[in-house]
Amino acid sequence: MAKKQEAEKELAAKNAELQGADTKVVKDTEQIESEADSKLIEDIKSTTWSTPEGDFDWDLDEKAFGNYSDTERAKLEEQYAGTFNQINQGEIIEGTVVSINNKDVVLNVGFKSDGLVASSEFRDLPDLKVGDKVDVFVESQEDANGQLVLSRKRAKTQKSWEAINEALENDAIIDGFVKSRTKGGLIVDIKGVEAFLPGSQIDIKPIRDYDVYVGKTMEFKVVKINHEFKNVVVSHKVLIEDDLENQKSEIVAKLEKGQVLEGTVKNITDFGVFIDLGGVDGLLHITDISWGRIEHPKEVLALDQTINVVVLDFDDEKKRIALGLKQLSEHPWESLDTELAVGSKVKGKIVTVADYGAFLEIIPGVEGLIHVSEMSWSQNLRSPQEFLKVGDEIEAEILTLDREERKMSLGIKQLTPDPWKNITERYPIGSKQSAVVKNMTNFGVFVELEDGIDGLIHISDLSWSKKINHPNEFTKVGETLEVVVLELDEENRKLSLGHKQLEENPWDTFETIFTEGSVHEGTVIKVGDKGDIVALQYGVEGFCPNKHSIKEDGNPLKVDEVAEFKIIEFNKENKRLVISHSRIWEDQKAEARIEEFNNRKKEAKAANSAVKKVKDSVEKSTLGDLDVLAQLKQQMEGDEKKSK
């Protein structure tokens, strides 16, 4: 307890000592500050001030404006404000060249400091000198070195963009320098901004060589600006079109049908040629280029060729002009030999081959049609391409001639004898001949006995025994077949032939072999929706309906499976043979059931006979027993009476 009180007294003494020290420090500090202020005042009073020369009034008020009036003060402020310009970052201002060195050009823009622009930005002004004025862009009022930063390039670019946007808004014309060629067009410099000139917008006519425009200064119209990607698209073509539109109206207004004009071949297409008539285009269709047949206009005309054309028709509103070239020359039919008539023979060149025939050009512009039916005496009409091709030079006979309608039909088969004359002497009915297969259809085979003599073998006359769905199952084009003449119609030029008639009808023999109910082994060669086709002996095919192709195990027969079949129908006239596999095992089962029934019947009959014998025996023994019982009964009744 005593120790605790001593510690508390010691702690109180130390706190008192610290408070005294703090008081002393504060008093010392106040004394030092007071002494410093007194010394500063004494130094100021002891200082000797020099008075400047002039009439400057040192009696200034607190605002340092002296005794100036409000008017004088406003005037001085205005003069002071005019000593330098107030500029803002991002604006375009005018500067004066102060000095030029290898690295920079120093410009005075009226600011508190001059600005620097890299000398490389003045390459387009090789004659730049001190005192020249140029527009610059304020990039920064003060860089890290306190220097005003200017750019002439950005000033040019910004002014160019303003001019380009203004040209687009006002649909104005702007000049540009073609710098280089690029994919699909040209690059144009418009006051420092690169623009794209598409190839289709260079001129109204197709341009084949873009390089001729490189290095030229041309006029353009701005057609599109992409502000996001800073892309500009220009057109020179629209300027030409605007001029031509006025010219077109004047030219079309003066046009007359039949008028002959001079023009230049501007473009060649598959269907015709576009002719430049000096400000307006006209179409010269391929059919109006030449009286003769041509495949393409380039066979007659070439690009940039100057020709005379005649106006056939025109549309004032749509400004479409139809032109003709062949109309400037006489129609070839007018110069056709007047002695030519039906039956005359002419020579020419095949110019067109179509599905229905070929056109023979006798002289340029005069053609005759050779129909496919007039190419050969054959009645089996084939493709004209089998007889003729473009470029063939042949002779033909005039069949019809209409000079007014300018139509002519020709024939070439007439130049050879008609093979159908006296045909009955060469091909009598029943005679055997050799023929070449020329064509096949679903119903038969067309064969050629000789040039111009065709015949038909009907599908039913190909084979006696084999069922043929299509003739290509039996023969092929180009193969030689032996045939028999069945019918001959000389007037209608028809010849019916047969192949199976070379042999006797085997169905007469089949009738004795494939009798109904007989069983034969066969192989399934085809499985169909309604039944199976089965190959039997002697090359005969039979039809097995689905319900008759079921095996004993319940599964149907499959292709190439060998089994036995029973004949259930034989039709000689239709050469139809219906067979059944199921009937065999069904009949066997039926026979087994019948046999089992007969056996049971026999057994039942025998059993009945045995029963009868037993019954008869039982009946006899029973009657004897009855007699004995009757006697016994009588005896017993007599004994009873006696006892009574």
Choose the weakest-confidence range: 90-104, 303-317, 490-504, 549-563. 90-104
Q: Is residue 578's pLDDT more than 90? A: yes
Paired tokens of 74:
């406003």
The structure tokens 């004394």 sit at 31
What is the C-alpha separation between 138 and 95, in angstroms, rounded? Answer: 11
Q: What is the pLDDT of residue 313?
A: 86
Hey, what's the torsion of the CAs at 474, 477, 480, 485, to 10 degrees?
Answer: 80
Strands 366-371 and 407-411: parallel
Higher pLDDT, 570 or 111: 570
For residue 420, is it within any domain?
Answer: no
What is the C-alpha separation between 301 and 49, in angstroms, rounded? Answer: 107
Q: Are residues 182 and 236 in the same domain?
A: yes
- Enumerate the β-bridge partners of residue 454: 448
Q: Are residues 102 and 138 in the same domain?
A: yes
Mean pLDDT of all residues in 199-225:
84
What is the C-alpha separation between 134 and 151, in angstroms, rounded? Answer: 11
For residue 199, is it within any domain?
Answer: yes
Q: Is residue 58's pLDDT more than 60? A: no
Q: Are residues 515 and 569 in the same domain?
A: yes
Mean pLDDT of all residues in 588-617:
80
For residue 115, is it within any domain?
Answer: yes
Q: Are residues 264 and 310 in the same domain?
A: yes
Q: How many helices and strands, by DSSP H and E, does the chain display?
A: 7, 30
Q: Are residues 285 and 268 in the same domain?
A: yes
Last residue of a domain, one of 415, 447, 469: 415
Q: What is the pLDDT of residue 9?
A: 64
Q: Are residues 355 and 397 in the same domain?
A: yes
Q: What is the pLDDT of residue 140?
A: 65
Query: Per residue in 105-144, is it b (16+ CB within 10 Å) or e — as a string?
Result: bbbebebeebbbbeeebbeeeeeeeeeeebebbbbebeee
CA distances from 270 to 65, 274, 287, 298, 361 (A): 94, 11, 11, 9, 22
Q: What is the pLDDT of residue 355?
A: 86
Structural domain that includes position 560: 507-587
Q: Is residue 123's pLDDT more than 80? A: no
- Through-space distance between the first and last CA atoms of the chain, rounded to whole angstroms: 164
Q: Are residues 262 and 314 in the same domain?
A: yes
Higher pLDDT, 513 or 85: 513
- Enumerate the β-bridge partners of residue 534: 524, 542
Q: Are residues 131 and 203 in the same domain?
A: no
Q: Is residue 262's pLDDT more than 80? A: yes
Residue type for 171, please?
A: D
Mean pLDDT of all residues in 111-116:
72
The CATH number of residue 101's host domain is 2.40.50.140
Higher pLDDT, 512 or 8: 512
Instruction: Evaluate whether 132 touches 97 at the Cβ level (below 8 Å).
Output: yes
For residue 55, is it within any domain?
Answer: no
- What is the model's pTM? 0.39
Last residue of a domain, one of 474, 502, 530: 502
Closest Cα to residue 240, out of 197, 279, 282?
A: 279
Q: What is the pLDDT of residue 643?
A: 55
The structure tokens 């179409």 sit at 283
Q: What is the pLDDT of residue 382?
A: 67
268 sits in which H/E element: strand 260-268
For residue 56, is it within any domain?
Answer: no
Last residue of a domain, one of 328, 359, 380: 328
Paired tokens of 130:
């001190």
Mean pLDDT of all residues in 262-271:
90
CA distances from 614 to 282, 600, 603, 605, 608 (A): 130, 21, 17, 15, 10
Choose the weakest-confidence range: 434-443, 447-456, 503-512. 503-512
For residue 53, is it within any domain?
Answer: no
What is the C-alpha separation between 37 and 343, in angstroms, rounded? Answer: 148
User: Can you say how many angstroms the Cα of residue 336 is from the centroid of all Cα atoms in its chain?
Assistant: 49
Choose the weakest-confidence range: 124-133, 254-263, 283-292. 124-133
Task: Quote the number of domains for the chain.
Answer: 6
Q: Are residues 478 and 528 in the same domain?
A: no
For residue 608, is it within any domain?
Answer: no
Q: Are residues 310 and 358 in the same domain?
A: no
Q: Are residues 410 and 351 in the same domain?
A: yes
For residue 555, is it within any domain?
Answer: yes
In 122-172, the DSSP E strands lie at 133-140, 148-151
What is the C-alpha separation between 550 and 557, in angstroms, rounded? Answer: 6
